[in-house]
Structure 1
Amino acid sequence: MSPSTQGGAVTVRGTVVIDVEACKGCDLCIDACPPRVLEMTVHEVNTRGYRYPRLLAGCTGCQACAQICPDFVFQVYKYDTPLELPLEDQNEQ
């Protein structure tokens, strides 16, 4: 399943704050994310040398990432009202 898009916009129902420094790069969150809006960095690492997840637009606030993470790096916030973001602004949530 991918984020819902309509007319050049994406519907965002939540957001995630990621503690990049606590992440060990296990990738469990990437596979657990139903809307597939998490991706691992490729050329960036935290101060401990681990790749970390980056949030793309389309988060539903489902908390799957927070539930599976062994290092508790996610804080999930679900919006009361979904937001419609233009596709060009999708990484600025």
Structure 2
Amino acid sequence: MDQEECKGCGLCVASCPAKVLEIDQGKLNSKGFHPSSYKGQGCLGCGNCFYTCPEPGAVTVYLKGYVPEEVK
């Protein structure tokens, strides 16, 4: 989740069958929105969050087992 691109609409949270996303009420991004965040484990990789998000670039779904270099 790119929290700076997120507008906190909650569509990704509602569409997640694994319930691993939440709106972070304790954080505001630079645009003044409470962004969604990933709870850390349990993602199914279904892509529902990606397809329902209206903000281009806010959500990236990786293949299971893939960890990008910038996250390591």
- Shared topology, TM-score over 0.5? yes
Specify every segment of 5 or more residues in structure 2 that has no aligned partner in the other structure, as ranges: 67-71
Percent identity over paired residues: 37
Provide the aligned C-alpha RMSD in A.
1.8
Q: Which moved more, 1:62-71 or 1:51-60?
A: 51-60
Specify every segment of 5 or more residues in structure 1 that has no aligned partner in the other structure, as ranges: 1-17, 82-92
Larger radius of gyration: 1
Q: Which has the higher strand share?
A: 1
C-alpha spacing 1:80/1:55, structure 2 compared with 1 (3 Å) = closer
**TM score, norm. by length of structure 1:** 0.64
Residue number among 38, 56, 59 corresponding to 1:74 in the alignment? 59
**TM score, norm. by length of structure 2:** 0.82
Aligned to 2:44: 60
Aligned to 2:69: none
Does residue 45 (structure 1) correspond to residue 5 (structure 2)? The answer is no
Tell me: higher relative CO, structure 1 or 2? Use CA pairs within 8 A at least 6 residues apart.
1
Kindly report structure 1 stretches of 4+ aligned residues shifted beyond 6 Å.
Answer: none
Q: Which has the higher helix share?
A: 1
